[in-house]
Structure 1
């Protein structure tokens, strides 16, 4: 038996439909708020709603909101947007990367985690077991004390390194996965350290087919992608539209290389739309409709020209693969 856990209840995987695998809808990351980085604060529920409605208008059915506890979630706002837009939203328990932990711990979290000053202090002083228990509670009871449960668990590491505290959160998330059967998502900074993360996950007995690795297009290295795919894990190409990191041709080439090697069932696509300047209704960016309305037709054209069935691949990447990747299997 398998199911997908959304903010508004568990659903059959067949109900998921066209899915973005890594987005941020409403969030106020404490680290960036303290630095005065307004572009990184998605803090207007109504503007976020308008972009989600654009996505839904083009046939979008589900969004994975990858906002972890240290990235300033607004669970109530996102659950309201999901309801108003008529889309499924999968919430995220767990952690991001370590430099974010320099920020002050919000008062609302202290009853649940302890009266620590910063995220760093909490993660440093808590045991792996205590961190795992926090993640488990967010999957089984609700995010930050709300009734809205997480549908995946997450960890992250920095650029070309894994700190001791990041390793601690990987192990905590792995143990929460074993307890809950929730799928795992990995943040890889600029697409690095996935293979090193895999070694830690293996030492915790994790079946890699339950794991998706984010930001793979930030490291457009087909050999590296193949080594990850060989483990059975999913690879998320979630920087669509971010030309500052590389042209779409590079992303599409990497995706089609994986297809050519037989890994088409392990590919996910999204935009990681985490800035006001990426959103249409905040700051005239490409917006959440861009992938489904404009990138997908281009991908189909390029895939067809390369001898593949582009429409079939789109269905795999946005419907069938997410339905397997984000399922709890008990």
Structure 2
């Protein structure tokens, strides 16, 4: 380990105390074959979205776009420098459905090499495997579960993530498909593969608003990601506040992370008329403050991300 924990941003490592108000799960760039015509691939739109987020009080954004889905980390670094907002990029691999077959024909050892190199040497486009790694370094590993199960692809990528975590110390962030298979993910990553629960973030817990299950997940000690709470009239949205209140009352407020998870052009505020990244601070945070108190919400936006994304990096 290198010593004191640091957050690895696209512009370099920083003290966790410098991170500030953080959108713990969002996307400035993202493109998947599952979302044709909805690519987030416009740097101008990304700049405008991040400017609005900054104007609302945002200081840091964590992009969960993994390897092979158009991370555009060089643009992330330029945008971060120009706007003055910290940005953390991801390595890792999403669900198999998002990729062309060529990217998926890998074994654990190959994935570990990709993940570790992204974290320690610099990121690289998936379509340029022979080019030198000259991009900014990733600061977390993003993988994904399947609907209600850990399928073979998820087991492969999570195993690779656990090995890469052991080699680097990087936090593992998990996309839970519709919020499911959370306990199964903890069992695999923590119980079987030895990852400490406080190095795991489970995303999309708001998509499965089962209060008893959320409490059981929280008791494992992982970080709890509530991201994308912006779909008006969805049952998951109006249950979000009760769920967060119950977790805070049970003593789990220090594990909660909040994010926007903007994955389509239509969901962007500046181009699609959606809530976009600023919604977290302009709408959700004020409502949560009235319910839970300012100190609690500030912890979710500042103190909790500082602990979740910081690590004593191994080079």
What's the TM-score, normalizing by structure 2? 0.92
Correspondent of 2:76 among 75, 78, 89? 78
Correspondent of 1:274 among 246, 263, 267? 263
Correspondent of 1:69 among 61, 67, 70? 67
> How do 1:29-44 and structure 2 match up within 5 A?
29=32, 31-32=33-34, 37-39=36-38, 41-44=39-42
CA contact (8 A) 1:218 1:245 kept: no
Once the 2 structures are TM-superposed, how far is the Cα of residue 177 of structure 1 from its aligned partner? 0.2
Distance 2:223 2:233 in 1: 24
Residue 173 (structure 2) aligns with: 185
Kindly tell me the number of residue pairs found equivalent between the two proteins: 301
Distance 1:288 1:209 in 2: 26
Residue 290 (structure 2) aligns with: 301
Q: Deviations over 1:55-110 (max 9, x none)?
A: 11121000000000132221122222212211000110111112123x25xxxxxx
Residue 89 (structure 1) aligns with: 87
1:119 aligns with 2:121: no
Unaligned runs of 5+ in 2: 125-132
CA contact (8 A) 1:213 1:236 kept: yes
CA contact (8 A) 1:18 1:59 kept: yes
CA contact (8 A) 1:98 1:157 kept: no
Distance 1:318 1:146 in 2: 31
Give the match's secondary structure for 1:67: coil
Once the 2 structures are TM-superposed, how far is the Cα of residue 32 of structure 1 from its aligned partner? 3.3
Distance 2:45 2:142 in 1: 26
Residue 109 (structure 2) aligns with: 129
Residue 19 (structure 1) aligns with: 22
CA contact (8 A) 2:95 2:153 kept: no
Give the match's secondary structure for 2:224: strand
CA contact (8 A) 1:190 1:218 kept: yes
Once the 2 structures are TM-superposed, how far is the Cα of residue 247 of structure 1 from its aligned partner? 5.5
Residue 100 (structure 1) aligns with: 98
1:324 aligns with 2:313: no
Q: Deviations over 1:116-137 (max 9, x none)?
A: xx223x23xx2x1221121011
Q: Deviations over 1:168-211 (max 9, x none)?
A: 11000001001000111011000001111111112111111111
Once the 2 structures are TM-superposed, how far is the Cα of residue 248 of structure 1 from its aligned partner? 3.7
Distance 1:158 1:151 in 2: 24
Once the 2 structures are TM-superposed, how far is the Cα of residue 244 of structure 1 from its aligned partner? 5.4
| Bigger proportion of residues as helix | 1
Give the match's secondary structure for 1:212: strand
Once the 2 structures are TM-superposed, how far is the Cα of residue 18 of structure 1 from its aligned partner? 0.1
Give the match's secondary structure for 2:6: strand
What's the TM-score, normalizing by structure 1? 0.88
Distance 2:74 2:34 in 1: 21
Unaligned runs of 5+ in 1: 105-117, 304-309
1:313 aligns with 2:262: no
Distance 1:302 1:6 in 2: 32
Distance 1:147 1:38 in 2: 26
Give the match's secondary structure for 1:32: coil
CA contact (8 A) 2:207 2:236 kept: no
Distance 1:25 1:131 in 2: 24
Once the 2 structures are TM-superposed, how far is the Cα of residue 254 of structure 1 from its aligned partner? 0.5
Give the match's secondary structure for 1:154: strand
CA contact (8 A) 1:27 1:73 kept: yes
Residue 146 (structure 1) aligns with: 134
1:162 aligns with 2:150: yes
Distance 1:302 1:311 in 2: 9
